[in-house]
Each structure stands twice: as structure tokens, then as C-alpha cells.
């Protein structure tokens, strides 16, 4: 199924020079993961105040792209330089969920008219990540299947931020946008759970 996650191998190829430099500088995989979490908090704060300082909307696409790079780099660092650990795995998985909440929480403010859809979006995002982890617990393989995974959500919200930055009205379509997102999240979660037992 179509997903931004499918371009991850090519994205990682582009990041290899950065990975080498970070390793030479003594940066560890866990430090990259923590940096990603801190960045997510900064993105969330910037997003929250974007109605006051309009230019902050640009932090969504730019910040989410950097976060995606950091998320790829921590895994690459761990695998390439033998830094894999249980602590790192827990930090990475918990960090992803916390980071998503930091970044997407301001939607409750900007899409207040669709409050229940946004709350459902936040909940389904957490459940979707849990379904991916369930695959590892059941079959030993982390599941990333289906539409509207972490990378897809980041891409959609990046577009949302970009449209807002250029004063292109999108809020009026929030009900349709987040209804579709939530449906895709349910489909993704179902696929992940189903494939966990195969």
C-alpha cells in the first residue's frame, strides 16, 4: 500500500554522509533520539503560537522533515555502529509517541470545531504505533504496514502547515481531512494486527 515510509531506503542513502560525521563527532544513537524528542517539543510550541506569529507555521514542514531525518539517523547509527540496546529501543518507541503528541496537540486549538475528530486522531495514532509494536511482540517483527503511519502523518501535517503559512484556507475542510485520516489510521492498524499473526 502507498506510504511515505516506502521511500525510507533512499532517504537513508542521502543521510549517510551526515551519519558518518555524527559518528566521528562522538554522537550516539540515544543522543539523536533525545534530540528528536526535544525538537518535537519545540515544533509543538511553535505550532501552538502560530496564530499569534504566523511565520511559525513554517516550523511544521521544516521541523517535521528534520525530525524524520533524526528518526532515520538514530536507527542507522544503532545498526551501523553496534549501539543497539533495550534502553535505546524503549526510548525510541516511547519517544515517537510522546513526540507525536507534542507536535499534534495544537490541532486541538486550530481545529477546535472538529475537536472530537482531533482527539480521535491523537488516540488512533497511539493505537497505530502500539499495533506496530504488537507485531514485534507476537512475530518478532516491527510492523510499519498500511497508510497513515508515522511518516504519512508527518507528511500530511507538513502540508497543513505549509498551506496555513501561505494563507491558503484549509480549516474549512478540517472535518473531511481528519475524517479521511482517521479512516486510514483504522485501516493501517487493522493491517498491522493482521500481518502480525501471519
Mean pLDDT of 114-131: 96
Residue 2 is predicted with a pLDDT of 59
Q: What is the mean pLDDT of residues 113-122?
A: 96
The domain ranges of the chain are 4-196
Percentage above 90 pLDDT, the chain? 82
- For 158-187, letters b (16+ CB in 10 Å) and e give bebbbbbbeeeeeeeebeebbeebbebbbb
Mean pLDDT over 56-74 rounds to 95
Q: What is the pLDDT of residues 12-32, one digit of tens each?
A: 899 999 999 999 999 999 999
Q: For position 78, what pLDDT does the model report?
A: 94
Which pLDDT value is given to residue 102? 97
Angle at 93 between CA 91 and CA 97, to 5 degrees: 110
How far the first Cα of the chain sits from its last, in Å, is: 17
Does residue 52 register a pLDDT over 60? yes
Task: With a cut of 60, say whether residue 1 has pLDDT above it.
Answer: no
**In the CATH hierarchy, which fold is given to the domain comprising 4-196?**
1.20.120
Predicted TM-score (pTM) of this structure: 0.93
DSSP secondary structure, 121-152, as one string: HHHHHHHHHHHHHHHHHHHSS----SSS-HHH
Average pLDDT of the chain to the nearest whole number: 93
Amino acid at each position: 500500500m502507498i506510504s511515505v515510509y516506502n521511500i525510507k531506503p533512499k532517504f537513508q542513502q542521502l543521510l549517510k554522509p551526515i551519519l558518518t560525521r555524527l559518528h566521528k563527532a562522538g554522537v550516539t544513537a540515544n543522543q539523536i533520539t533525545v534530540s528528536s524528542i526535544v525538537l518535537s517539543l519545540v515544533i509543538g510550541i511553535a505550532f501552538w503560537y502560530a496564530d499569534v506569529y504566523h511565520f511559525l507555521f513554517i516550523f511544521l514542514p521544516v521541523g517535521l522533515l528534520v525530525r524524520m531525518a533524526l528518526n532515520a539517523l538514530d536507527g542507522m547509527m544503532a545498526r551501523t555502529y553496534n549501539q543497539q540496546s533495550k534502553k535505546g529501543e524503549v526510548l525510541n518507541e516511547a519517544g515517537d509517541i510522546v513526540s507525536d503528541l507534542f507536535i499534534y496537540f495544537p490541532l486541538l486549538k486550530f481545529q477546535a470545531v472538529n475537536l472530537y475528530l482531533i482527539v480521535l486522531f491523537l488516540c488512533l495514532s497511539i493505537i497505530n504505533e502500539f499495533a506496530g509494536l504488537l507485531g514485534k511482540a507476537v512475530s518478532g517483527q516491527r510492523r510499519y504496514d498500511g497508510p497513515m503511519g508515522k511518516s504519512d502523518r508527518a507528511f500530511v501535517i507538513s502540508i497543513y502547515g505549509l498551506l496555513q503559512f501561505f494563507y491558503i484556507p484549509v480549516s474549512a475542510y478540517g472535518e473531511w481531512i481528519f475524517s479521511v485520516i482517521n479512516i486510514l489510521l483504522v485501516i493501517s492498524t487493522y493491517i498491522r494486527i493482521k500481518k502480525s499473526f501471519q
